[in-house]
Every structure is written in structure tokens, then in C-alpha cells.
Structure 1
Amino acid sequence: MFTIANGIILKGQNLIPAKENIVVDDGKIINIGKDLNEGKIIDVEGAIVCPSFINGHIHIGDSIIKDEGYGLSLSEMVKPPNGVKHKALANASDDELIEAMKQSMWDMVNSGTTHFIDYREGGLKGAKLLRKASEDIPIKPIILGRDDSFYGEDPDLSKVKNAIRKLLKVCDGIAPSGFGEITDDVARIIASECKRQNKISSIHVAESDSNQIESLDKFGKTEIEKGVDSNFDQLVHLTNPKNNDLELVLKANTNTVVCPRANATLNVGVCRLNEMLDMGMTPLLGTDNVMLNSPNMLRELEFTLKLMSVYYNGYIEPSKLLQMATTNVCRHDVNNVIQKAVMNEGNLAEFVIFKSFSKNPYLNICNRVETKNILYIINKKCIV
């Protein structure tokens, strides 16, 4: 048992600041309040105590080819099966993949991330490799798998169903790359089977404007419309919405994830984040492909804070931005495989303690701190 004392803690889904102490026993928060001093006292006078980060979207297998292919188009980089990353994954040994993924997971842990949602290539084997790689690291991967049987213009749907059922024995959900690679039948099967098993179904949509135009020309619907119509739980990117795309997502209460640094690196646009937040949407924030960006959520937060400011000529609310990296995950069905990120009594103790540089706790985290300014990470153990 120990007590985190004298810090400014960010409580509840809205991260309301309070000068209170936190008592932790056997990995759970058992009490929050003033003047508590049970067990070992960890004095963090004036520091900011925040729920640990969840990286809402990442491709950790890309860790083997950091910064390769810079300047290529989106399709050249990541479109299966001949994108730069898919060729690299196919040619890498299991040991190479595991070691590279371990390094990226430690990078995440050391910068305050305790959970990440991974689009895992490589079918059943790829998912098992990530499980193995994460065994001794204090981080929880939420693994969304895929299989080569999903692709093509006339897939064998019996093979697709069989692959999904096998994957869901190991994975937390299913995530094909995009609607340009799968049929509507495959999309519906993925979403319905995941829903039946209380798992996550996710897909990239509207990452580039050309993808949107192609979808409209071919199907008469945008990729976002197709994602909502197929009943996917989670849509990633939404960088180039058309017409009433965002209203459809809001009405369907579909979980969303944005990845501003990846969009910038691939030169595909700026997500309409300020508009999404003004509408009442509660997206997650992700770093996307490790080949493009470090998986450091502090860097994603600062980049997003300033990009949205200049793009919209108006400020993004920093408390809402920080919620995207922490507690928004608790507002959607995705939390059926992720323990609550909210710092409340009875929840698991998973939080980060940051050195304080300013009186604004949200900007302190999003705008000021670096990895070296993390005092403690409370997860499976205390990390100084």
C-alpha cells in the first residue's frame, strides 16, 4: 500500500483538477481525498497526476522500418499487399519483429502510455507475436487482427468467417486496412461477428481525399458512410469528410480516432478536430505507423495542440485534447477490453505523475513536459 501525496490530480472523465491524495493497494485505487497518509508516502508536491495514456491507433509492426520510404504516397507506403511496410513485414524474421516491437513498447511505457490499440498485420501469427513480445512489459496491447482471406473482389466468405473466428480467440477485435481492399460482404461479416463476441471492429476511412472520391465514384457512398452503414465500432482518421459524414458518425455514436502527425507526414490533410469536438464527438488520439512517427503521445499532444490552432485560427480546448489521450476511451464500447482510464476509487491504478511547470495542468502536459519530466508511472509497478 502507498499514498501519492500533495499532487494536483485530474479526476473523472472530464479530468477535473483537485488537490487530493491517492491511496493505492494491490494495484487498485482504494481511496482519494485530502490528508490521506496510508502506507508508504510518495510526496509529489505540486506535480500533476494524470491517467496514463492510451495510444488510440498504432501499427507497431512497422517498428522494423522506422523512417523508410519517407516522401512516398499513402498507397506506396501502406496499401496491402505491396506497400513498403507489407514487403518489409513479409521479409522480417520473427525475432526481428519481436525485438523491434519490444523497443517501441518500452518507448511508449517510458513516455506515459499503458495501453495501445494496434492494427496487427500477419494474421493469427502476427497477433501471437505481439502477445509474446508484450509478455514482460508493463503495457496492455489491444490487438485488432486481420487475415489475407479478407482481400480481393470475390473472397471465399466461408474462409473469411473461419479466419475471423480463429483470430478472435487471440485478438481483441478485427481491423482490415480499408474499404478499397474488402467487399461490403466482408465488412458486414467482420462487424457482425465482432459485435456478437463483444470485440472491436475497426477500419481506416477517409484518410486521403482520393480514397473518398474513389469510394463515391465506385459505390455512391463515402468511406465514412460505408463505415457507419457496415456498423464498425471504430473509424480511424476521418481526415477528409464529405457532406454530412461527421453528422452520420455522431448520430451512430461510432468511436473515432484521429492521427494528426501521420496525416501530416503522409501529406493527406488536417483532420477536422475542432469541428468534431464542437459537435460533441469524443475521439481518441493515436500516433499511427511507427515507421512514420515515434509512438510518444506527448509529441502527438503538442503537435495537435498547435496544428489545430494555426489551421482553425482558433484555440483547441486543452482539457478536451488531453481527454482524447486518456479518458475518452471510457465513453465508448471499446472499453469492454480496456480497464477504466478514469481516476476514481475502485479502478486500477494506472496514472502518470508529471513535473509541473505552469498553473494550467492541461497545457502543462500538452505543451510543456517531455519524457524526462515524468516523475513516476504507476502501472504494474512504480517506475521512477
Structure 2
Amino acid sequence: MFTISNGIILKGQNLTPVRENIVVDEGRIIEIGKDSKEGKIIDVDGAIVCPSFINGHIHIGDSIIKDEGYGLSLSEMVRPPDGVKHVALANASDEELISAMRQSMMEMIESGTTHFIDYREGGIKGVKLLKKAATGLPIKPIILGRDDSFYGDDPDLGKVKKAIQKLLKVADGIAPSGFGEITSEVAKLIVDECNKKNKISSIHVAESESNQIESLNKSKSTEIEKGVKAGFSQLVHLTNPKGIDLDEVSKSKQNVVVCPRANATLNVGVAPLNKMIKLNIKPLLGSDNVMLNSPNMLRELEFTLKVMSVYYRQYINPADLLKMATTNINYYDINDIVQKSLIKEGDFAEFIVFNSFSKNPYLNICNRLETKNILYTINKKFNI
């Protein structure tokens, strides 16, 4: 049992700043209050206590090719099966993949991340490799698998269904690349089978303008319209919405993830976060491909804070931004699988203690902090 004493706590779903103490016992927060004190007392002297980070979207497998292919187009980099990343993954040994993924997880842990949602290539073997890489580390991967049988204009739907069912025995959900690579029938199978097992179905949508145009030319529907209609529980990117796309997402209450640094690296635009927030969409923030960016959420937060004001000439509320890396996951059904905690009594202890450099706790984290400014990362399994 221990007490984090004298900190500025970003408490509950809304990250409300309060100067209180947190008592932790056997991995759970048992009491929060000004006078709460039990066990070992750790006086943090006004430091900021924030929920640990969740990286809402990452491809950790391409950790093996950091910064390769810089300047290539989206399709050249990541479109299966011939993109730079897919060729590299096909040629890498199991040992190389495990070592690179483990290194990236260590970087996430060191920068305050305790959960990440991964798009896992390589079928069942790929899922098992990531689980092996994560063994013994204080971080929880939420693994969304895929299979090569999903792709093509005329896939064998019986084979696809069997592949989905086998994947769902070992993975937390299914995540094909995008609608440019799968048919509507495959999309329906993925969503239906995931719903039966209460698991996550996820897909990239509207990452680039060209993807949206291609979708409209082929089917008279945007990729976002397709994602909403198919019922995927998680839509990733939404960088280039059209017309009423975002209104439809708001009505559907699907989980949304945005990846500003990756979008900037690939020169495809910036997701309209302020518009999403006005529509009561609660996005998550993700770092996307490790080959493009480090999986450090502090870097993602600072970049997003500033690119929004440059690109849209409108500031984003730093409290809303910080929620995208911490508490927004609690708005969605997929948190039954993710199991990410808030700072509240009864929840697992999953929080970070940061040095404080400014009076605004949200800007302190989003604008000023680096990994070296983390005093403690508290995790329900590993404590301090």
C-alpha cells in the first residue's frame, strides 16, 4: 500500500484538476482525498498526476524499418501486399520482429503508455509473435488481426469466414487495411463475426483524399459512409471527410481514432478535430506506423496541439486533446476489451506522475513535457 501525496490530480472522466492524495492497495485506487494517507507516503510536491496513456492506433510490426521509405506515397508505403512495410514484414525473421516490437513497447512504457491498440499483420502467427514480444512487460496490447484471404476482388468467403473465426480465438478483434482492399461482403463478415464474439472490428477510412475519390467513383459512397454502414466498431483516420460524413459518425457513436503525425508524414492532411468535438465525437489519438513515427504519446500530443492551430487557424482545447490520449476510451463499448482505467476510487491504478512547469496542467503535459519529466508510472500489475 502507498499514497501519492500532494499532487494535482486529473480526476475522473473529465480530467478535473484537484489537489488531493491517492491511496493505492494491491493495484487498485482505494481512496482519493485531501486527508487520505496510508502505507508508504510519496510526496510529489505539486506534480501533475494524469491517467496513463493509451495509444489508440499503432502498427508495431513495422518497427523493423524505422524511417525507411520517407517521402513515398501512402500506397507505396503501406498498401498490401506490395507496400514497403509488407515486403519488409514478409522478409523479416521472427526474432527480428519480436526484438523490434519489444523495443517499441519499452519506448511506450518509458513515455507513460500502458495500453495500445495494434493492427497486427501476419495472421495468427503475427498475433502470437506480438504476445510473445509483450511477455513480462507492464503494458497491455489490444491486438487486432488480419489475414491475406481478406483481400482481392473475388475472395473465397468461406475461407475468409474460417480465417476470421480462427483469428478471433487468439486476437481481440479484426482489422483489415481499408475498403480499397476488401469487398463489402468481407467487411460484413468481419463485423458480424466480431459482434458475435463481442470483439473489436476496425478499419482505416478516408486517410487520403485519393482514397475518398476512388471510393466515390467506384460505389458513390465515401469510405466513411461505408465504415458507418458496415458497423465497424472503430474507424481510424477520418482525415478527409466529405459532406455529412462526420454527422453520420456522430449519430452512429462509433469509436474514432486520429493519427496527426502519421498523416503529416504521408502528406495526406489533418483530421478536423475541433469539428469532431463540436459533434460530440470523442476521438482517440494514435501514433500509427512505427516506421513513420516514434510511439511516444507526448510527441503526438504536442504535434497535434500545434498543427491544429496552423492548419485550421483555430486553437484546440488542450483538455479535450489530453482526453484523446487518456479517458476518451471510456466513452466506448470497446473499453470492455481494452479495460483502461480512470483516476477514481475502485479503478485499477494506471497513472503517470509528471513534473509541473506551468499553472495549466493540460498545457503542461501537451506542450512542455518530455519522457525525462516522468517521475513515476503507476501500473496495476507492476506498481512503481
TM bracket (short chain): over 0.9
Partner of 1:225: 225
Partner of 2:74: 74
Deviation at 1:277, TM superposition (A): 1.0
Distance across 1 between alignment mates of 2:82 and 2:312: 36
1:199-227 C-alpha deviation (Å, 9 max, x unpaired): 00000000000000000000110000000
Q: Name stretches of at least 5 consecutive residues in structure 2 with no aligned partner.
A: none
Letter in 2 for 1:34: K
1:117-144 C-alpha deviation (Å, 9 max, x unpaired): 0000000000000001001110000000
Distance across 2 between alignment mates of 1:30 and 1:171: 32
Q: Give the secondary-structure state (helix, strand or coil) at the position aligned to 1:18.
A: strand
Deviation at 1:341, TM superposition (A): 2.5
Say if 1:329 and 1:341, in contact at 8 Å, map to a contact too: no
Letter in 2 for 1:157: L
Letter in 2 for 1:381: F
Distance across 1 between alignment mates of 2:164 and 2:259: 26
Say if 1:339 and 1:348, in contact at 8 Å, map to a contact too: no
Distance across 2 between alignment mates of 1:183 and 1:292: 28
Partner of 2:297: 297
1:43-74 C-alpha deviation (Å, 9 max, x unpaired): 11100000000000000001000000000000
Distance across 2 between alignment mates of 1:299 and 1:382: 25
Q: Give the secondary-structure state (helix, strand or coil) at the position aligned to 2:13.
A: coil
Deviation at 1:81, TM superposition (A): 0.2
Partner of 2:271: 271
Question: Pairwise CA RMSD of aligned residues?
Answer: 0.7
* 1:269-348 equivalence runs, <5 A: 269-348=269-348
Q: Give the secondary-structure state (helix, strand or coil) at the position aligned to 1:333.
A: coil
Partner of 2:151: 151
1:3-49 C-alpha deviation (Å, 9 max, x unpaired): 11000001111100001101101111111111112001111110000
* 1:1-384 equivalence runs, <5 A: 1-379=1-379, 380-383=381-384
Deviation at 1:381, TM superposition (A): 2.4
Say if 1:340 and 1:347, in contact at 8 Å, map to a contact too: no
**TM-score normalised over the length of structure 2:** 0.99
Letter in 1 for 2:235: L
Q: Give the secondary-structure state (helix, strand or coil) at the position aligned to 2:24.
A: strand
Q: Give the secondary-structure state (helix, strand or coil) at the position aligned to 1:31.
A: strand
1:258-303 C-alpha deviation (Å, 9 max, x unpaired): 0000000000011111111122110000000000000000000000
Distance across 2 between alignment mates of 1:284 and 1:113: 13
Distance across 1 between alignment mates of 2:37 and 2:281: 39
Distance across 1 between alignment mates of 2:70 and 2:52: 31
Say if 1:187 and 1:230, in contact at 8 Å, map to a contact too: yes
Deviation at 1:382, TM superposition (A): 4.0
Deviation at 1:340, TM superposition (A): 3.5
Q: Give the secondary-structure state (helix, strand or coil) at the position aligned to 2:334.
A: helix
How many matched pairs?
383
**TM-score normalised over the length of structure 1:** 0.99
Q: Give the secondary-structure state (helix, strand or coil) at the position aligned to 1:109.
A: helix
Q: Name stretches of at least 5 consecutive residues in structure 1 with no aligned partner.
A: none
Distance across 2 between alignment mates of 1:286 and 1:340: 15
Deviation at 1:228, TM superposition (A): 0.4
Say if 1:353 and 1:374, in contact at 8 Å, map to a contact too: yes
Distance across 1 between alignment mates of 2:357 and 2:32: 24
Q: Give the secondary-structure state (helix, strand or coil) at the position aligned to 1:344.
A: coil
Distance across 2 between alignment mates of 1:343 and 1:36: 15
Distance across 1 between alignment mates of 2:94 and 2:312: 44
Distance across 2 between alignment mates of 1:145 and 1:163: 10
Deviation at 1:342, TM superposition (A): 1.1
Deviation at 1:339, TM superposition (A): 1.7
Letter in 2 for 1:250: S
Q: Give the secondary-structure state (helix, strand or coil) at the position aligned to 1:30.
A: strand
Distance across 2 between alignment mates of 1:120 and 1:312: 33
Say if 2:178 and 2:203, in contact at 8 Å, map to a contact too: yes
Distance across 2 between alignment mates of 1:211 and 1:43: 52
Distance across 2 between alignment mates of 1:175 and 1:313: 34
Distance across 2 between alignment mates of 1:193 and 1:382: 37
Deviates more, 1:34-43 or 1:209-218: 34-43
Say if 2:58 and 2:287, in contact at 8 Å, map to a contact too: yes
